[in-house]
Amino acid sequence: MEDAEEKYKNLLAKQSKTLGAAVAEYRRRYKHDPPRGFDEWWTFAQENNVKLVDEYDLLMEDMAPFWNLTGEELRRRALQVGQLPSIDLVRINAGNIEDVRIEKAYKDTERGHRSLGFRRLLEKFAHKLPDMDFPINAKAEGRVLVPWEHRNFPNLTLQDSSGGIESMLGTNLSPDWKGQGSVWEAYRRTCPPDSAARRLYSSYRNPLSENAKVLFGPVPSAGDDFTFSPTLDDDFDFCQYPWAHYSQGHFFSDWRTIPVLYPVFSPAKAKGFSDIKIPSHYYHGQNKRYTYGWDSVNLEPKEVDDMEVPWEEKSEVIFWRGATTGGGSTPSGFSPSYQRHRFLRMASESNKANRTVVYADPPSSTNYVSAVVPVAKLNSDIMDVAFVSAVGNYPGGEEALRKDHRFGDAVPLGKHWAYKYLVDLDGMSYSGRFMAFMASDSAVVKATVYEEYFSDWLQPWLHYIPLSSSYAEIYNIHAYFSGASKSTLESANSTASHDTQKSRSVEGDKQLRRIARAGKQWKKTVGRTVDMEAYVYRLCLEYARLWADDRESMSFAL
């Protein structure tokens, strides 16, 4: 936590202070001039007190493959991909923002909320941008998976799309897989030829084997239950560890992926996908289900939610509520290993496993002791997690789903603020509640394999607590900050009462509150809607240069 705070302070301190410095930093990082309009973007950033003006490496990585296409080819592909199901086309035309209606051969049930959110983020500066089209992914999950050979040896694939989208994708443009492949089969082809994922036999490892948590979780230097994850798993290499894909639902999406480099703008992507990231529409403060402090009268967020609870009155229980979303059914039968299902079964009071819990005795000391504790008792002490609705298929049907997992009543978003620990888990893709959780006065414990537009702007262990996708260390996260639970003390045959132990975990509680406050401060200073607008503005400038025939003329120089 000390290292994280120092790292973030240094990041803020080194940001460019002048346009000249920003241009020089841009050239240093990316080896060419900024795009045309960079000076106006800089003015926008300064007027809106944008803190991180140089940190756009992830955006540049998203854009990099499209430099291999000509402007004409990119423009053609943007229009073509809009013909696919669940892709909405947003157009800037003479400074105006338009929806482009394309007659599609397949019924599309999406309502276009993501494209609506993107249009909102364009409103302040669209009049300064040249004409261009943005194909917006209407789905939460990533869509573009380009085979490794086609990314690294472009001559192996057709680069001229003038024959139409059928010439690029074939005539089978059905929106779902229909038994003719899966996301994982498409994903494997994005991996290097010598990777484990390309050696088919590696894909059949038992996904529920006990060793799974060793690789898909914290490095087990002191016992994987105790070793905390330094970062999120958004850089996890499924090509190297193909068996781990069983644990992530996005590999089982029913929606057919796109095996050609098309520009598709999506709210999040896992490693290996070629989508271009944009801020999620859930983050703009327009929806009471996803917005902290939603004012239903004025229809806008306010700084303190009506249901917020003072820190001292918050429960020390780990809280989560949500639907069973997490993956599709292609192929079927794998939903028990999806991320949310795994977490709920781990947190169940019928769990028959044991965990080694390490805690300081006394909490403020460096004297650590351990106890092997029945997980069922631990969960009874510190967990309050449940599904609130059943979505999708489950082996044995809903009856089996409800038997294997705890279900509870749906709760309003504001009920979450009564807890110090808020777990944030992936669904079919990213979690739409993350920004709301960060705005609250609670500490966020986040597990994800998805990269989002802000991933380089957040500092784990300062703004939130990263949780590995195995979840193995969550009991020791709780023990570190809140001290030993009642069942832990009982298992250790400790003579200290639970009340005594709690009264001695003051330092851990202060550290947890510091994370909660730092997360809230980040949301107020870096995670604002105007910061999302600054990100999209910068994205548009980069995209506009790629869109042009003469890209050199679309560069900016002092």
Most confident of 60-74, 349-363, 381-395: 60-74
Is 268 in contact with 165 (CB distance < 8 Å)?
A: no
Residue 222: the pLDDT is 40
Beta bridge partners of 301: 294
What architecture does CATH give domain 287-528?
3-Layer(aba) Sandwich (3.40)
Residue 371 pLDDT exceeds 50: yes
- 204 vs 4: which has the higher pLDDT: 4
And the tokens for 64?
A: 């990099």
pLDDT per residue as tens digits for the range 116-132 = 999 999 999 999 999 99
Residue 207 pLDDT exceeds 60: no
Residue 228: the pLDDT is 84
**In 526-558, which residue ranges form alpha helices assigned H by DSSP?**
529-547
Residue 227 pLDDT exceeds 90: no
Residue 205 pLDDT exceeds 80: no
Averaged confidence pLDDT in the chain: 90
d(CA 1, CA 459): 10
157-171, 263-277, 323-337: segment of lowest average pLDDT: 157-171
Q: Which residues contact 10 (CB under 8 A, 6 or more apart)?
A: none
Q: How confident is the model at residue 217 (pLDDT cuts 50, 70, 90)?
A: very low
Q: How confident is the model at residue 461 (pLDDT cuts 50, 70, 90)?
A: very high
Residue 172 pLDDT exceeds 90: no
Average pLDDT over residues 38-58: 98
- Among candidate residues 507, 486, 305, the one with its CA nearest the CA of residue 413: 305
**In 383-485, which residue ranges form alpha helices assigned H by DSSP?**
397-404, 434-439, 474-482
Residue 376 pLDDT exceeds 70: yes
* % of residues, the chain, pLDDT over 70: 92
d(CA 271, CA 369): 38
Phi and psi at residue 304, to the nearest 5°: -120, 125
Instruction: Report CA 31 to chain centroid distance, whole Å.
Output: 29
Positions of CATH 3.40.50 in the chain: 287-528
Residue 211: the pLDDT is 44
pLDDT per residue as tens digits for the range 307-359 = 999 999 999 999 999 999 888 999 999 999 999 999 999 999 889 999 999 99
And the tokens for 393?
A: 């298929």
Residue 215: the pLDDT is 43
Look at residue 519 and give its three-state secondary structure.
helix
- Give the chain's end-to-end CA distance (angstroms, integer): 40
Question: SS3 for 349-373, per residue?
Answer: CCCCCEEEEEEECCCCCCCEEEEEE
18-32, 160-174, 255-269, 316-330: segment of lowest average pLDDT: 160-174
Residue 108: the pLDDT is 67
Q: How confident is the model at residue 203 (pLDDT cuts 50, 70, 90)?
A: very low
Residue 501: the pLDDT is 56
Average pLDDT over residues 134-141: 95
H helix count then E strand count, the chain: 19, 16
Look at residue 387 and give its three-state secondary structure.
strand
Residue owning tokens 């709301």: 436
Average pLDDT over residues 282-308: 89
pLDDT per residue as tens digits for the range 483-536 = 999 999 999 886 665 555 554 578 899 999 999 999 999 999 999 999 999 999
* % of residues, the chain, pLDDT over 90: 75
d(CA 501, CA 511): 17
Q: How confident is the model at residue 209 (pLDDT cuts 50, 70, 90)?
A: very low
Residue owning tokens 């914290």: 218
